Amino acid sequence: MHSKTILIVDDEPRTRLGLQKNLNAWANGNYHVLTASNGEEAIGIMTNQRVHILITDIQMPEITGLELLQIAKEQDIHPVIIVISAYSEFKYAQEALRLGVINYLLKPISKKALIEAVEDAVQTVEKQERAGMIEKVVDKKLVTADTQNSTNPEAIREAIEYINQNLKNELSQKEVADHVHLNPSYLSVLFKEHVKFTFSEYVTRRRIQRAKELLISTNLPIYDIAEESGYKTPKYFIKIFKELEGMTPSAYRKNNNERAF
């Protein structure tokens, strides 16, 4: 897991370096704490790398803090934002909130207030990343099936629960039918009618969703992910994954890992 980046933007060297010193002591190496002396420099940094938390002064020459936030928004750059200012006028706070600021700190900033604001921002970053991961992993057709599951016959609900709990194992229709005390042919008809997938389609989609979760959230090698998702050989796993997702598991991992760190 790569460390995250905090960017401090302030035209006053003393304030800028004081904030950086306090945050470096707090971060203990877990965060990169960068600084910029003006809005233009800040945009340059945010264009070239992911900034997770932006701490910016409002009153700066040339590009103000609020203008910086507007430019970032227009360029589709969305860090979690903390604004600092020596000015307490409500109009600034109001505009800052409109631009997505989560905290508004007045100078002089106490170390306690700074750390509390940054810890809140870290929690916000983590929530956003979890939401982003869920969105990327989720199979919308499975979500639809899950939404309707509560109205399914009990045998189908039990079958789905059994499948979900045994994805790693070899799953046959007969095994699941035996578990829910149904004839395999009848289970097949019932499953298609209520879940809108064939038995094998549902199992495949569930396994690939499990694989996507592991690809994004772990560093496990493809071989292990194939096994954890119920595939005996990586070659067959890669083939099925590519059919469903349009890319190999390795490409999927690379594309999605670039998003967050």
pLDDT digits (tens, 9 = 90+) for 143-193: 888 888 888 999 999 999 999 999 999 999 999 999 999 999 999 999 999
Give the domain CATH number at 164: 1.10.10.60
- Check whether residue 115 and residue 146 sit in a common domain: no
Give the domain CATH number at 75: 3.40.50.2300
Indicate the residue among 109, 129, 149 that finishes a domain. 129
Tens of pLDDT along 200-256? Answer: 999 999 999 999 989 988 889 999 999 999 999 999 999 999 999 999 999 998 887
Q: What is the pLDDT of residue 99?
A: 84
Inside any domain, residue 14: yes
Output the six-digit token pair for 111: 């170390």
Within a 10 A sphere around the Cβ of 219, how many other Cβ atoms? 10
The C-alpha torsion from 106 through 111 and 117 to 118, rounded to 10°, is 130
Indicate the residue among 94, 129, 164 that finishes a domain. 129
Residues 6+ apart with CB under 8 A from 176: 159, 162, 163, 187, 199
Give me the half-sphere count of Cα atoms (radius 13 Å) on the Cβ side of residue 250.
7
CA distances 36 to 12, 20, 40, 46, 81, Å, are 10, 11, 9, 10, 15
165, 163, 185: which is closest to 174 by C-alpha? Answer: 185
pTM, two decimals, is 0.67
Inside any domain, residue 134: no
Q: What is the pLDDT of residue 145?
A: 86
- Check whether residue 95 and residue 39 sit in a common domain: yes
Q: What's the structural domain count of the chain?
A: 2
Q: What is the pLDDT of residue 260?
A: 43
- Check whether residue 69 and residue 119 sit in a common domain: yes
Q: What is the pLDDT of residue 146?
A: 82
- pLDDT at residue 74 tops 90: yes
Indicate the residue among 129, 159, 186 that finishes a domain. 129
Q: What is the pLDDT of residue 201?
A: 96
- Check whether residue 124 and residue 59 sit in a common domain: yes
Inside any domain, residue 84: yes
Q: What is the pLDDT of residue 143?
A: 86
- Check whether residue 91 and residue 173 sit in a common domain: no
- Check whether residue 44 and residue 86 sit in a common domain: yes
Inside any domain, residue 135: no
- Check whether residue 125 and residue 161 sit in a common domain: no
Within a 10 A sphere around the Cβ of 115, how many other Cβ atoms? 14
Q: Give the pLDDT band of residue 2 (cuts 50, 70, 90).
A: low
- pLDDT at residue 1 tops 60: no
Domain residue limits at 241: 140-257
CA distances 163 to 177, 209, 222, 230, Å, are 11, 13, 22, 11
Single-letter amino acid, residue 222: I
Q: What is the pLDDT of residue 261?
A: 40
Distance CA 11, CA 86 (A): 13
